[in-house]
Amino acid sequence: MWLLNQVPLRMARLEWFYKLDKKIISGDMQIRMRRRAVLILAAGCALLAAGIPAQEIRDGETLLRAMHGRYQNNWYETLTFTQKSTTHNDNGPDTSEIWHEAMLLPGKLRIDIGPPADGNGMLVANGALTSFQNGKASDPHPFVHMLLVLGFDVYRQPTQATVDQVKGQGFDLTKLREDSWDGESVYVVGGDKGDLNSKQFWVEKKRLLFVRMIAPDRRDAAKTADSRFADYRQLPVGWVAARVEFFVAGKNVFSEEYSEIQTNPKLDRAIFDPRQFNSQHWEK
């Protein structure tokens, strides 16, 4: 930030010096000075392109703004992938099935569980979750998918929308600290040092990518759920965590592995309409 602040000042000084003394400065020196000015300006632009935050990250809100600012012009609107979903059972072997997922950011996620023709799956759209079994839809109920918000929507939607969603789900944006995770420095929002129970999310400091969320388990609030994004892959635009792991009370209960990842495919919005879930599909 300090270096960026110096760019306009340095440019002004160079221009003043050039005008004052151009009668006594040689042509070659004038050229060198102009080149130097261009290089200084280019350096400032390079730092901006690298995603240096426009302001110091001091709390959860400024972190969310920095995340959005880093990728708002370099993130996908639509994403599809095939997912191997594995349930880790305490009593018995692991079981796996194939899911097909499609996203329309912000806020829309479709999951087809098994062959799409079977009519099983889930749909997150317009702040609601609808489940489907054998083609029959459940009643939709209000639902904010925080992994969708923090891992994807934050980079596409206005930051204030993300701030409102995160606050609405009970995360304390006034709390921010630094820690390490998987060998990288991270920001932690919502939890004090040593606290692994309060609602909190973790963001890798270098790339400003979401890596972890801790919250009470939805099925048993006495237990802690720990969701982790791993194996980030750089895409033509943006990134995606190709492996997601879910822990409850310290045990890995579910894992997701992504393949056949496609960025910005053309998707008909009808596939995110609960009324057309059975008649509209995107999978080949």
- State the pLDDT at residue 43: 46
> Is residue 72 a contact partner of residue 155, using CB atoms and an 8 Å limit?
yes
- Give CA angle at 150 (244, 73), nearest 5°: 110
The yes-or-no verdict on residue 46 having pLDDT over 90 is no
For residue 234, pLDDT beyond 90: yes
For residue 41, CA distances in Å to 3, 17, 56, 264 come to 11, 17, 22, 33
Are 36 and 25 within 8 A, CB to CB?
no
Instruction: Tally Cβ neighbours within 10 Å of residue 94.
Output: 11
Instruction: Compute the distance between CA of residue 236 and CA of residue 222 in angstroms, rounded to an integer.
Output: 41
Of 76, 78, 105, nearest to 238 (Cα)?
76
CA dist 121 and 30 (Å) reads 68
Give the span between the Cα atoms of 131 and 95, in whole angstroms. Answer: 21
CA distance 109 to 78: 10
Mean pLDDT, the chain, rounded, equals 85
Split at pLDDT 50, 70, 90, the class of 32 is low
Mean predicted confidence (pLDDT) in 160-183:
97
CA dihedral 180, 184, 190, 192 (to 10 degrees): 10
| Residue 283: burial class (beta carbons within 10 Å; 0-12, 13-18, 19+) | middle
pLDDT in tens, 87-120: 999 888 999 999 999 999 999 999 999 998 899 9
Question: CB within 8 A of 2, min separation 6: which ones?
Answer: none
Q: How many CB atoms lie within 10 A of CB 1?
A: 11
Residue whose C-alpha is closest to residue 204's, from 71, 89, 45 = 71
DSSP designation for 21? H
Q: What is the pLDDT of residues 189-233, one digit of tens each?
A: 999 999 999 999 999 999 999 999 999 998 898 999 999 999 999
